[in-house]
A and B are shown apart, each in its own frame.
Chain A
Amino acid sequence: MLNWSNFVSQLINGLALGALLALISSGLTIIYGTLGVLNLAHGAMFMLGGYAGYAAWEATHSFTVAVISGALALMVFGLVMERVVIRYFYGRPHEDQLLVTFGLAMVIVEAVRFFYGSETRLVPAPDVLNGVVSLGFMIYPKYRLVLVGIVAAALLALFIVLYRTRLGMIVRAGIEDPVMVDSLGIDVYRVFMVVFGIGAMAAGFAGIVNAPVVSLTPEVGEAILVQTFVVVVIGGVGSFPGAVLGGLIAGEIISITSMVNPGYAYVMLFAAMTLVLMVRPHGLLGTPGRE
């Protein structure tokens, strides 16, 4: 469908897709950048946030309550997960970290399946956000447009926490030189725990705000995890602005390619990642050596 109105529609859609990918990826990249742990359970946490929100929605039928519950539940989950499991893996080889987070992902997915089964669960958007917006040349789901704003606000909040607060300063210092931060008398482990909690909260928040778009199944995090990795690699591992940029690029690639040939949408995404890896192995906004 190569025509002007479809092109603009796909551009907007790419933005909406990209914003969401940016939000999920930012949680993954903050955790990796600070803790050095590549969290393969991030997709499962995204899914868990959706289900936590779904449980709250079932109880209250309030979307706002669902969103807050999804995000907070995952923050708590992240804090506990860091304290009980992840902490013991900082000093261990990367493959151990990959294995333990991969294992946790399986446990989380199957636990959710145990309680909720494999069937699709739907958290409807609030009535005022349902329906479509007519932009003249196209109609677009209202909620998806609003979602761009919601995600932008969430990313801004993350940005402020990371770049404009004392905690953020410590986190960023911890990324650069944890030994120095430690010797300054700052409890690095506590910072790590908080960072893991924030990363998990970002995943949980993304999971529940995305629930009205994709419908929940226990596998919803799996497919998104792959895309998230692509985003992080394109943007630069460990870079928060990189995750945002990478997310937007990935969203646009999927949307624009699908306009020309839908079968190649995901092929092009991986082709773009390969290209970035060849030209800038540390990603577009990444710092050499950090990965």
Chain B
Amino acid sequence: MKRIAYPFSPVRRELVRAGFALAGGLALPRWALAADHPPIGTWPAGVEGNSVTIGAAVPRTGTYAEQGEDELKGWQLAVEHLNGGHPLMKKISTKTKKGVLGKEVKLAVADSAAKPNDAVQAQQRFITENKVILMTGSTSSAVAVAMNKLAQREKVLYVTGISGSNDTTGKDCVRYGFRQNFYGQTAAAALGPVLVKAYGKNKKAAYMTPDYTYGHTVTKSMQDYLATAGWTTVTNQVSPLGAPDYSSYLLNIANSGADVLINVNWGHDAVLSIQQAERFGIFGKMKLAVPYQIPFLAPEVGGDLLGGVYAATDFWWTLENKYPLAKQFVEAFEKRWNYKPEWGANNAYMSFAFWADAVENAGTFYPPDVIKSFEAGRKLQSTVGEVYFRKEDHQLVRPVVIVQGKKQSEMKNKEDFWNVIEIMPGAPLMQKPDAFGCNLGDYT
């Protein structure tokens, strides 16, 4: 019997069917693949065009304006690197080609003046008008905490700008929020041993604390750590954000008999309080320590006031000598903006790079999938070595850098303000994920 050659054998038929299905699938827009998801937040409306927008509410005025501008430059550079497929970006977000999932990234910017209300209003507008797919910005943890709540309510992802409060990934953590930078607990655990080694046990400390979540949690973490070495708090001078004068607080400190002044103030508040402390003769009596280093602190304070001062920080440009990605980052940033990046700019750049990595790995902008991609705990390459996000509280596990201020005579160039003396691995510095009451909440 003549064997009939079927043009489509059962096996071939399966193959062809699968082939068509695959081709059809590829032809569909990506979001349609996830069409079984109901819309959530700004998804899919925000990703339907050729571009996606990120909303940044950053202080361009007020006490933290100087630091806000630095952050903004970091975000702008990251967006340029994403859209251009820069080699540095590709080393961090390894699946990046150009843009994010092939879409151009745009950045919408508003001034928050470091005020939670202003930031939330601006982002609410970005959500409604620009359908932003990611929000960022904070140079104050009060803003970060407010933004966390907005992100969770609106179901739009949020990566913090600078935020040092334990609460941001502690009691005020949310499923939709992620933090790249170090914070009170890790700052204290990293800086504490250095202070004890330098100044000894059983010392008396005076604190200057800005009166909001960042100040209170950083001071508390420092006090808790130093208490283990017998240090006591002789006074804690709490002042409002943007206080016009520190004289009365400084008099209390001058009269306190402290050995070390731990200044938690930030932005212009730190600059002013340190300058005024010097005029009150305080540094003749006690040493200064800065648990949460402030971008541009050294040049703004001026003189030799920070010579020998220990501080904890996220990034300092001389890390380029140790980490190849840091070198690439510092070079690219300096070429673009004509100065060495401060840690705010680095934090901003890395936040966007990690977000891009999470989205590329998720293969979709669908927020719950992006969150799960962040939570997968992938090892990420960064400007401070290998890091990863902790899935329980969305905090990046990353080293804390201990620096010591240089005297002017020791500076090798005009931006050589700090000497990196230690790089402390992140994991041992961190509290247990539930120690600060983090409850992330729902995906949808």
Contacts and interface: CB of A to CB of B under 8 A. Distances in A.
Is chain A's interface secondary structure helix, strand, loop, or mixed overall? helix
Interface in B228-279: 235, 237-240, 242-245, 247-249, 251-252, 254-256, 268, 271-272, 275-276, 279
A262 B251 contact: no
B281 A132 contact: yes
Given A219-B242, A262-B239, A262-B249, A139 B280 contact: yes
B118 to A, nearest CB: 14
Give chain B's interface residue range (CB within 8 Å of chain A).
35 or more
A9 B381 CA distance: 54
B62 interface: yes
Contacts of B65: 118, 217, 219
A215 B275 contact: yes
Contacts of A1: 235, 252, 255-256
Nearest to B65: A118
Contact of B61 (A113, A214, A223): A113
Most buried by A among B61, B242, B248, B255: B248
B271 A120 contact: yes
Given A1-B256, A120-B300, A219 B61 contact: yes
Contacts, number: 105
Interface in B74-95: none
B320 interface: no
Nearest to B238: A263
Contacts of A217: 65, 268
Given A118-B65, A217-B268, A258-B249, A143 B255 contact: no
B211 interface: yes
B367 to A, nearest CB: 34
A79 interface: no
Given A132-B280, A217-B268, A9 B244 contact: no
B392 interface: no
Nearest to B253: A1
Nearest to B251: A9
Interface string B58-79: 0011110110010000000000
28 contacts: A1-B235, A5-B255, A6-B252, A9-B251, A10-B252, A13-B247, A113-B61, A118-B61, A118-B65, A120-B268, A120-B272, A122-B275, A132-B279, A141-B280, A141-B281, A144-B279, A214-B244, A214-B245, A214-B272, A215-B275, A218-B61, A219-B61, A220-B244, A254-B248, A258-B237, A258-B248, A262-B238, A265-B248
